Each structure stands twice: as structure tokens, then as C-alpha cells.
Amino acid sequence: MDRLQVFKRASLSRNFDEVVFEKLQDKTIAYPTYLSVGQEFISATIAQTVYGMGIEPDIFIQHRGHATYLSFDGDIVQLIDELLGRKSGCANGMGGSASIHSKEKNIFGHDGLMGSQVPIAVGHCYKTKHPTIVHMGDASAEEDYVLGAMGWASTKKLPIVFIVEDNNLSILTEKRVRRNWEMHDVARAFKMRGYDISDDPVEIKNYMYCAFDEPILLNINTHRKFWHSGAGIDDENIFDRYEEEKKLLGSIAEEIHQQTKIKVENAWKKQLDKQ
């Protein structure tokens, strides 16, 4: 796997949301905003892997979706405009952070009801039989309609990948307070392959081996670096996959990080100058 290409995608998301963090603090952005920081390697690896397979999937995202949108090559300028509430935004300035989408990239925006994207994605995949990826949080996965839809996907052997971005949190409530079961076990109970893995890109790529031949579920353990919504820090010492990968890949990754930072900052500046 090209770990550097994955890093490039992750770097775009990281740098993008770091600018958004500042824009939230100085109130340039005044809407509820959900940062992907800390969780970027999930979408970055999935996108790099499926594009490497020559597949252009349909993608259903949820509220914490900036990294998914950018990793799957969603247009950065349209995302900036969306966060600024402009008509030229990817959801006509009406969706905001929680409901970004891209017609060009087959990214379907979220309606705000936790987990609703899962039955919608399954129904879509049942109709189209096109490779489909659906992202959900570990708390959204608990909604009853998610589980029924998974059963149907398994019964019909749909080409769908269920991605659980398991940051262990529902806003601030940890998983152990909410439930005593795990999503990969639920998938297996539905006779589907289900795996509980880390957000190490090599591990994610490896577990995509049978993706789209049959339904699979990857419960990917990850870490949310910032608040559930808005710009703040819950835990200064939380593990950061991005920094870990940067260290591992060395100076070339640092260079990619710096170049991407400039590119993203310039894109923001250009859009803000238009006001």
C-alpha cells in the first residue's frame, strides 16, 4: 500500500480542519461544526484503497464528514463556501458542516438523524448493486434501524462496506456506559464478516480484502482530538495517528504537511477575500 498517498489525503483533511478550528474560534464560522481531526486515516485509507481497486463507490457520510468528503476528492472550495453558508457551497449553503455532500463524487449528505444514513445506504445499494460505503459513528451504530438494515444487506449479499468510526464517544458518553456489545460481533451475528481494528492504514487496507464481494463491517478504533462540536480540546494527551504516521514516514511527510498547509490556507484566504 502506498502509505504516503494515504498520508497526503489525511494531510489535506488535517490541515483543512485546523483552519476551521481557527475560524470557529474567531467566529468567522458561526454554525455547529464537527471536526474530523484525529480520525482522518479512516477515510484517507478507505479512499486510497478503493480508488486503487478502480472503484468509484457511492458514499454515505454522517455529521463528522469533512475528512470523508476531502479524502474522496470532494471539492475543497465548495466545502469552504458551505461552511461559510454561501449558495456556492457543496450543499447550497443550506447544509453546513453536518450535511455536506458532493453530487460529482457521489457523496450523499446526512440529514442529521443519527444512523439514518445506514438504512438509506442499504436501500440505495439494494437498488443499484453499486459498490457502496457507509460511515457511522459508534453511537449512531446503536440505532435500531441501523441493525435491521445490516440484516437486509447480509441477506441480500450487497456490495456494501459498513465503516464504524469508533471514537468511543457519543458526544461525551463513553461506549462502556452505553452498551456491553460490539459492532463486529453484531455483524457476525448477521452472518457478515465483521472486524474490530485500529486506524493504522496498513490494517484498514488489509481488512478491505473482500470489500464489495460481500457485505463487510469494519469497526475502526480511532481518537477524536477536539470537542464533539466546535473548537476545543477534551484531552490534550490523546493519541494522534497523524503525528504517529508523520514520525514514521519522516521528512517527506513533514514536507507534504507543510505544502498542504500552505495550499489549504491559501484556498481559505482566497474565498474569504471574496466576501
Name the site residues for ligand TPP (rule: CB under 6 A).
63-64, 112-114, 137-140, 165, 167, 169-171, 228
In the bound state, the residue with its beta carbon closest to ligand TPP is 137
Residue 14 binds which one of Mg ion, ligand TPP, none, with CB within 5 to 8 A depending on kind?
none
> What residues contact residue 165 under an 8 Å CB cut-off, 6+ apart?
39, 42, 64, 135, 136, 137, 138, 220, 222
Using the rule CB under 5 A, is 223 a contact of Mg ion?
no
Choose which of 40, 81, 138, 142 interacts with Mg ion (CB under 5 A): 138
Smallest distance from ligand TPP to CB 91, Å: 17
How many whole angstroms separate alpha carbon 269 and alpha carbon 231?
Answer: 19
How many whole angstroms separate alpha carbon 27 and alpha carbon 60?
Answer: 29
> What residues contact residue 54 under an 8 Å CB cut-off, 6+ apart?
none
Using the rule CB under 5 A, is 115 a contact of Mg ion?
no
Q: Which is nearer to ligand TPP, 5 or 170 (CB)?
A: 170
Nearest to 100 by CA among 71, 10, 46, 92: 92
Q: Which is nearer to ligand TPP, 63 or 246 (CB)?
A: 63
Q: Which is nearer to ligand TPP, 3 or 228 (CB)?
A: 228
Q: Output the nine-digit C-alpha cell for 4.
A: 504516503
Instruction: Kindly list the residues in this chain that would bind Mg ion in the complex (CB under 5 A).
Output: 137-139, 167, 169
